[in-house]
Amino acid sequence: MLHPRRSPAVALLAAALATLCSMLATGCASARPARPDPAARTLHIFDGASGETLGWSDVVARASDADATFVGERHDDPTGHAVQLAIYQDLLARFPGTAIAVEHLERNEQDTLDLYLRGEITPDQFIDGTESRDWAGKDTWIGFWQPLVDTAREYDSPVIAGNAPRDFVRRARTEGHAALDGLPQPERALFDIPLQSVPGDAAWDARWAAYKRRFQEFMSGGDPTAEDLERTATVFLSQSTWDGTMGASAAQALAAGAPKVVFCAGCFHIERSGGTVLQFLARRPGAKALTVTVVDSSSPELRDEDRGLADIVIYGFPVQRAPRTNG
């Protein structure tokens, strides 16, 4: 077998698969990259604007034409994570060195991540050191996100801990962005203040205002009152700190020399000109960004409510979720 570091395209297609079920059964992570379920490439796929039916080759071709591909996920949806892995591995086969960046690791965890990528700590030491094991429920890290990290490790490609540490996100809400901007450089490097306007780009400004309004409507459960707008404007300081940091992380990956970057994050950050995508574009003028979202329901055609959700809309399977309870 050809060694993957010598022939990424051939080795990616021919690599032996790690078995996710055995990892979950033993509770231990694998240092070998898993291949996504082949079904991830055979789902119902549509152009998010026109509703045109697409094939998997169209997804890879559009991702190949973009500088950054943002894949929106429902955190507990296995199909969405299988699609993320398929996109990343297929793009990596075409463009060795493609970076993978994730919402789920914070910049202060980059050193621990790098230790793992260099083989200096075990998978479990990495997972427990970043407190990631139960990120979206018990033992979800191993099956959902570890395959992305292990794929990058196997092919000597960058992994970016793309998010802001939660302490700074909380402080954004309680102290405001101006206070955070004055912190000493070692702390300041762990997050990016979101840009609120792009001079000379009225369209960007309008999309950012629409994103903020959409967030406030979501947080208010509908049409927000004046009181809701005031309350959620404070919460948006946190949300936009996530977006500013993640968008900047994607831009920095390209600036560091990655030929492409794939960014995986929650769907709200990405869908309908989400904040993370806008913050990336503000920092990387002229870059091409592709948005992909995986909807956790089935449909043989693009539903009206999903038109414009992303450049590419993929339908998976309904996720059975426990009912929410009050209190």
The CATH code of the domain that includes 143 is 3.40.50.11550
* Among candidate residues 108, 282, 287, 286, the one with its CA nearest the CA of residue 194: 282
Q: What string of DSSP letters covers 3-44?
A: -TTT-HHHHHHHPPPP-HHHHHHHT---SSPPPPPGGGGSSE
293 pLDDT band, cuts 50/70/90, is very high
For residue 270, is it within any domain?
yes
Q: DSSP letter at 267?
A: G
What is the tens place of the pLDDT at every residue in 203-252? 999 999 999 999 999 999 999 999 999 999 999 999 999 999 999 999 99
For residue 18, is it within any domain?
no
Residue with tokens 């101006």: 178
pLDDT at 20 over 90: no
For residue 121, is it within any domain?
yes
What is the percent of the chain where pLDDT is above 90? 85
For residue 35, is it within any domain?
no
Contacts of 70 (CB under 8 A, 6+ apart): 250, 262, 263, 265, 270, 274, 276, 277, 280, 289, 290, 291, 292
Confidence (pLDDT) at 24: 37
| CA pair distance 124, 133, nearest whole angstrom | 9
What is the tens place of the pLDDT at every residue in 221-231? 999 999 999 99
User: How many domains does the structure of the chain reveal?
Assistant: 1
Which whole number is the average pLDDT over 85-106?
97
Mean model confidence pLDDT for the chain? 89
Structure tokens at 11: 């080795």
What is the percent of the chain where pLDDT is above 70? 87
Which whole number is the average pLDDT over 180-192?
96
| CA pair distance 114, 149, nearest whole angstrom | 11
Q: Which residue has the higher pLDDT, 103 or 1?
A: 103
pLDDT at 173 over 60: yes
For residue 30, is it within any domain?
no
For residue 12, is it within any domain?
no
Structure tokens at 186: 């070692």
Q: Which residue has the higher pLDDT, 67 or 326?
A: 67
For residue 215, is it within any domain?
yes
Which whole number is the average pLDDT over 253-276?
98
For residue 290, is it within any domain?
yes
| CA pair distance 123, 29, nearest whole angstrom | 6
Confidence (pLDDT) at 36: 64
pLDDT at 61 over 70: yes
Cα dihedral 124/125/131/135 (nearest 10): -20
Which whole number is the average pLDDT over 149-161?
97
Q: Which domain holds residue 250?
A: 43-315
